Amino acid sequence: MLLAACQPRIYRFTVDPPTIGNNDPVRVSWKVAGKPTLLIHDIGYPNSGGGRLSPVTLVITRHGKEDNFTLAAEDTIRLPLGSKADSLEIRKKPDGHTDDRLRYIRLVAVRGKRESPQTIEVPVRPDTASGQVGFAVVPHGDTLIAAGLNNAKTWGDDYVILTVSLEHADTSNRVIEVDHSGISRVLHRGDPPDESFKGTPVTGQWTLKTLLTPEDKAKHGQGPTGLSIFILLKHR
């Protein structure tokens, strides 16, 4: 019994929300037995393709008092917490940086030489992002159809659609019908970005259709091998 009473313990450790945009705050709450310390460390977000992370300033607010901490690449902020049960807020000081990063927030409770650690990963994503949705073409008579489930690997459930367009898309010189989330729209080259899909998920089934053009038919019906559209996204 005496040995168990001397062990450090973490009774509560939460970070809310579990994923954030670059300028969103998180609330960290804890309750421990022992002396608590918070450690914060960032790495590049998996599959983001980014380089070395830019230094950021984190503003930590506790009981109305703000403290600024610089977090550079490969650095760790170490913050003794004092209180065994409390909460604080962490937010990034606005600086224009929009690195895609994964933030490790680690709570360590210590008693004597014993430690009890727990780590929560918080994805920190750009407030807006852009990319393309596209698939290989399957001919159906005079119609070319490109359809499939959009891969969640890049954006997952962190983003929703703001607009879709043919801007920057590989097939921007064609008229493309887009079907997604029960919505259907026809996109033309030069049209302003279409907001019809605003708020729908990036993931899920997409279908893109276009007709064979006279130029395609002159090439014995050989149109493009794939169709794609440009998407602008917003962090949830």
Last residue of a domain, one of 125, 157, 172: 125
CATH number at residue 62: 2.60.40
The answer to whether position 3 is within a domain reads no
Give pTM, 2 decimals: 0.67
Whether residues 62 and 97 fall in one domain? yes
pLDDT, tens digit, 9 for 90 and up, residues 54-79: 899 999 999 999 999 999 878 999 99
Whether residues 44 and 55 fall in one domain? yes
The answer to whether position 217 is within a domain reads yes
Buried b (16+ CB within 10 A) or exposed e, 77-101: bebebeeeeeebebbbeeeeebbbb
pLDDT, tens digit, 9 for 90 and up, residues 160-214: 899 999 877 666 578 999 999 999 999 998 889 999 999 999 888 999 999 888 8
The answer to whether position 60 is within a domain reads yes
Domain that holds residue 148: 128-235
The answer to whether position 1 is within a domain reads no
Whether residues 31 and 118 fall in one domain? yes
Whether residues 22 and 121 fall in one domain? yes
Whether residues 36 and 51 fall in one domain? yes
The answer to whether position 2 is within a domain reads no
- Give me the pLDDT at residue 78, please: 96
Q: At a CB cut-off of 8 Å and minimum separation 6, what does 107 contact?
A: 10, 13, 30, 32, 36, 37, 38, 39, 117, 118, 119
Whether residues 229 and 143 fall in one domain? yes
Whether residues 114 and 140 fall in one domain? no
